[in-house]
Amino acid sequence: MSGHSKWENIKRKKAVVDAKRGKEFTKLSRNITVAAKQGGVDPDSNASLRLAIQKAKEANMPKDKIAKAIKKAKGGAEGLEEITYEFYGPGGVACIVSCTTDNKNRTHSDVRLVLSNNNTELANPGSASYIFSGGVPSFTVKLSSEDQAKLDKIIEELKEIDEFDEVKSNAE
């Protein structure tokens, strides 16, 4: 009767659900911390913090985790850092990846792994950022459909990293 244990089936399903919830709570917690750092820890005067808390409550995030995220922004716990990584993707398109993390080494390793799996590597700091003066690319690159598909795959894999915030590129 191998594989017919009801508890084993429940345990497997619960593990999947718990992993998804944990990943979602991590992102929500990071959003709360970043919002509190940027606009203050009072939700009444900080609209982005109020919105982040509202989203966390909608996802049934416990109050103690919300409070811990706000405390982290005040400096009561280890802080978060904003890091940017630069790389040149398929077709020579310049890309900048923004991440918010509490562990630079882990994030660097994760980003580097995604890029190396897609035959791309990190560029030197400043080598791609000069293209984005004021946050807007000074010129754009038209990619072939094959290169665009490769870039989309890289971006999707980067989005799976917990610390990922956004990616900017000068692709059309």
> pLDDT for 74-133, tens place per residue?
765 456 778 899 999 998 899 999 888 878 899 999 999 999 999 998 999 988 888 887
First to last CA, the chain: 57
Question: The pTM is what?
Answer: 0.64
Query: In this predicted structure, what is the pLDDT of residue 55?
Result: 93
Predicted pLDDT of residue 146: 93
Tokens 């665009």 map to which residue? 148
Task: Return d(Cα 124, Cα 155) in angstroms, integer.
Answer: 19
Is it the case that residue 1 has pLDDT exceeding 70? no
pLDDT bucket at 73, cuts 50 / 70 / 90: confident
pLDDT at residue 166, as a whole number: 84
Helix and strand numbers, DSSP H then E, in the chain: 5, 5
Owner of token pair 């990071």: 30
- What confidence score (pLDDT) does residue 62 get? 92
Closest listed residue to residue 69, CA positions, set 31, 118, 33: 33
Q: How far is CA 97 from the centre of its chain?
A: 9
* pLDDT of the residue at 76: 52
- Please, which pLDDT band fits residue 53 given cuts at 50, 70 and 90? very high
Indicate whether 136 pLDDT > 80: no
Across the chain, the runs of DSSP E, i.e. the strands, are 81-88, 94-101, 132-133, 136-137, 164-169
What is the share, in percent, of the chain residues with pLDDT greater than 90? Answer: 40
For range 22-51, the mean pLDDT = 87
Which residue stretches of 40-103 are H helix?
47-58, 63-74
Q: How far apart are CA 107 and CA 171, in angstroms?
A: 24
Which among 29, 169, 28, 167 has a CA at the least distance from the CA of 98? Answer: 167
Residue 68: per-residue pLDDT: 87
Query: What domains can you pick out in the chain, each with its CATH number?
Result: 6-74 (1.10.10.200), 81-169 (3.30.70.980)
78: nearest Cα among 40, 22, 29, 111: 29
